[in-house]
Amino acid sequence: MGELDDINQTRRDVLISGALSATAAALPMVGHAQTPDAAALPAGQVTTPAPVTNKVALRVNGKPVEIEVDTRTTLLDLLRERMHLTGTKKGCDQGQCGACTVIVDGRRINSCLSLAVMHEGSEVTTIEGLGQPGKLHPMQAAFVKHDGYQCGYCTPGQICSAVAVLDEVKRGIPSHVSDDLNAKPLLSMAEIRERMSGNICRCGAYSNIVDAIVEVGGGKA
């Protein structure tokens, strides 16, 4: 029994010692300088670092733009918040829904994932630059004709993407479903659905969207 008591006593001492050490670590050390909280500082000493800004010059819908922006500003926020081109929509803000799709230097991109300062000298086309009421782009007119939208939130990104898709096919750029990577891709149902898969329509107007693209592209889906 004596040996067992010694073992239990030793174990108890270890536990007590550990608990005391943890308590001491959690308490402030008396006599040592503490880092003051921002709230405890005089108002004049509480400062927030100024954002880093940079000037960017680009062309948006054919017009030259030169603007000073916070270097963290996305192209999407530049278009919507600074230039008031609100046709380009902010959906998921993670590059997953395609609502923010615009055409930059002839290629479609998710503008929510691209910083404005990355586009010095770029040519940017938004839905407003494709066409306006009374002078619609053929793709815009086809979406209206075929009811390629319902709530309309994804429609600007869908149309910009569709215009770029036809250009990709015209230039012979293959997709994941192209049978022959060296042959010019056909404007087939499979090609359109694959190429437009990054643009999500929560209303489910996909078949009508495909019909609109086929009409403008002159293909047979």
Residue 125 has pLDDT above 80, yes or no: yes
Q: Pick the residue with more confidence: 211 or 5?
A: 211
Q: At what angle do helices 155-170 and 138-145 cross, to 10 degrees?
A: 120
Whole-angstrom Cα Rg for the chain: 29
User: Is the CATH code 1.10.150.120 the one for domain 131-217?
Assistant: yes
pLDDT of residue 24: 53
Residue 36 has pLDDT above 80, yes or no: no
**In the predicted model, what is the mean pLDDT of residues 150-159?**
96
Q: Residue 32 — pLDDT band, cuts 50, 70, 90? A: very low
Going by their DSSP bridges, the two strands 107-110 and 123-125 should be labelled as unpaired
Domains of the chain by residue range: 53-129, 131-217
pLDDT-wise least confident of 13-27, 52-66, 152-166, 203-217: 13-27
User: Hey, CA dihedral for 144, 132, 110, 94, is it positive or negative?
Assistant: negative
- Taking only the tens place, the pLDDT of each residue in 99-108 is 999 999 999 9
For the 53-129 domain, the top CATH level (class) is: alpha beta
pLDDT of residue 28: 52
Residue 202 has pLDDT above 70, yes or no: yes
* pLDDT above 70: percentage of residues in the chain: 78
* pLDDT above 90: percentage of residues in the chain: 71
Q: Pick the residue with more confidence: 10 or 217?
A: 217
Residue partners of 187: CB distance under 8 A and separation at least 6 = 166, 169, 213, 214, 217, 218, 219, 220, 221
